Copies of this chain bind each other. A is one copy, B any other.
Amino acid sequence: MTDIKIVLRDFSKRFNEDLEKYFSFPEGAEKRVIDAMHYSLTIGGKRLRPFLLCECANLFGVEYQTALPAAVSLEMLHTYSLIHDDLPAMDNDDLRRGQPTCHKKFDEATAILAGDGLLTYAFEVLSNALEIKPAQRLALVQLLSSAAGSFGGMVAGQTLDLYARSTGDKSSDEAIISRLEEMKTGRLLRYACEAGAVLGQANEQSRRILVDYSRKVGQAFQIADDILDQEGNQELVGKTLHKDDNQNKFTFVKYYGTDKARKLAIKLIDEAIEQISVFGEKSENLKSLARYIIERNY
């Protein structure tokens, strides 16, 4: 398999450079919100979602430059969600990617506005992407808004994360955790893969395989994240750990225990790798990425 760390590092480098083209800095006081958007977007991040989107598009011969605006808008939307999740009224986090969170670096009002600005800009970038055919742009706006929204999307997931409480019944709790993680992180990962299929005008079967891949990788990713929260090295991970302990949160790791959760993650990744193999050589990076997700230590 490819050395995915190097591939990801090279991708990030290129992507980060391209990201700058989407920014300009006005002279007025409104520069503050642009600075904050740019800060949060560029303080790190593994660029997993953009990478996933570009790799899935690549399965169908779509070039990086064509997929780029969709990847950029996805990363903007993802970053908005981090900024808002970190707010004092939400997870109240001071550290993100080893750096002060947006409201710590700037202030709370600016962080709220920076999140709003990134969410809005995501749709602006996507809908104006001349590299992408108009019908595909519209399809992507539909998919992205649904994945990010409050009717079964990311906003609904974050709401569950904040307000869902144990029912006392083991199987009901398991269903809630699944739904929470599917909505909070799963939907955007699924979008990344589906966007690749849309850009590549993939047939229904290919699209279903990618959706399934995203679901399995997403679930494994979440489990790995929760294990890192329990066992990770705070300096490497770059965010406050053991949050899940403090806040009475629902996680698979708490529910199953670390060992069982880790086994589940490995099983999911094995299945995902097998399924994605139908795309042949072009799926090498997606296979390595799946493996990497449960092996990373940050």
Binding site for B on A (CB under 8 A): 24, 26, 28-30, 32-34, 37, 80, 84, 87, 89-90, 107-110, 112-117, 119-121, 123-124, 127-128, 134-135, 137-138, 141-142, 144-146, 148-153, 155-160, 162-165, 176, 179, 183
Contact = CB atoms under 8 A, between A and B. Distances in A.
Nearest to A144: B123
Contacts of A158: 113
Contacts of A142: 124, 127-128
Given A89-B107, A138-B137, A29 B151 contact: no
A30 B159 contact: yes
A28 B176 contact: yes
A3 B121 CA distance: 40
A238 B142 CA distance: 36
A33 B159 contact: yes
Contacts of A112: 84, 87, 89-90, 112
A116 B28 CA distance: 26
A85 B2 CA distance: 48
A151 B26 contact: yes
11 contacts: A26-B156, A29-B159, A30-B152, A30-B163, A33-B155, A34-B151, A116-B155, A120-B150, A120-B155, A121-B150, A124-B145
Dominant SS at the A interface?
helix
A123 B151 contact: no
Contacts of A157: 30
A160 B124 contact: no
A3 B152 CA distance: 43
A164 B34 contact: no
A144 to B, nearest CB: 8
B123 A123 contact: yes
Given A112-B90, A135-B134, A32 B159 contact: yes
A108 B89 CA distance: 6
Interface centre among A33, A84, A116 (most CB of B within 10 A): A116
Contacts of A160: 28-30
A87 B164 CA distance: 23
Contacts of A108: 89
Contacts of A29: 159-160, 163-165, 176
A114 B117 CA distance: 16
A128 B24 CA distance: 31
A90 B151 CA distance: 27
Contact of A120 (B26, B113, B153): B153
Nearest to A103: B89
A120 B137 CA distance: 16
A45 B164 CA distance: 31
Nearest to A30: B156
Contacts of A153: 120
